[in-house]
Chain A
């Protein structure tokens, strides 16, 4: 299975941008990059996903390196509600690697 590497933890201040990195050097051509987050005492929730191009939605932006071996989830203005564990997951929905395999993720702390 393709693996991802994320920092164990990161810290940010409220209303500042946050850049959460993810390395996936063994990514295959059909792997999509997915991000989920898990707020305290809740199930994970989908944040964003992409294949090659940068992506934006109402929650975040996803910047994907040209060689696709790394990506960055960008929260433009962190709020206290964004404190969560963020998971970067590779997923090939059309192939054998379609299952969501959660790593340890990055614990984001947001300071007021």
Chain B
């Protein structure tokens, strides 16, 4: 199993500002992902965080808005840039030990409110 620590757990931010969310895992993992869960909705994959290279973004998400870093095999950050109230969501980090592995582990999420 993996223990995932996400920081901050929640924040209230002013529109136009940026917030960086951290995801720390207690062991080295192959794959790290970032998801968004808008109020009352299901999870949507934002991007795959690739260690040592640029993240792979899903349709509808761009690097300028959601820059991602992954400096090593246990840590990643997601920045929500130039925030608007529509960015108010829960952002979740997920990890897996390998593509052929069967189980994904999720952090508790970061609840972001933009005012």
Q: Residues of A at under 8 Å CB distance from B?
A: 32, 34, 36, 41-46, 49, 85, 87, 93-94, 98-105
Contacts and interface: CB of A to CB of B under 8 A. Distances in A.
A43 B42 contact: no
Given A43-B92, A44-B43, A87-B42, A98 B104 contact: no
B109 A93 contact: no
A105 B42 contact: yes
B102 A100 contact: no
Contacts of A99: 33, 45, 48
Contact of A34 (B44, B94, B102, B108): B102
Given A46-B105, A93-B101, A105-B42, 5 more contacts: A32-B102, A34-B102, A42-B108, A43-B106, A43-B109
Contacts of B94: 43, 100
A43 B9 CA distance: 12
B43 A102 contact: yes
Interface residues of B, number: 20
B45 A101 contact: yes
Contacts of B92: 43-44
B45 A93 contact: no
Given A43-B92, A43-B109, A102 B42 contact: yes
A99 B99 CA distance: 9
A46 B104 contact: yes
Contact of B42 (A49, A93, A104): A104
Contact of B99 (A44, A45, A98, A102): A98
Interface in B27-75: 33, 42-45, 48
A45 B45 contact: no
A68 to B, nearest CB: 17
B106 A44 contact: yes
A93 B102 contact: yes
Nearest to B41: A104
Contacts of A102: 42-44
Contacts of A104: 42
Q: Which of B33, B100, B104, B105 has the most CB of A within 10 A?
A: B104
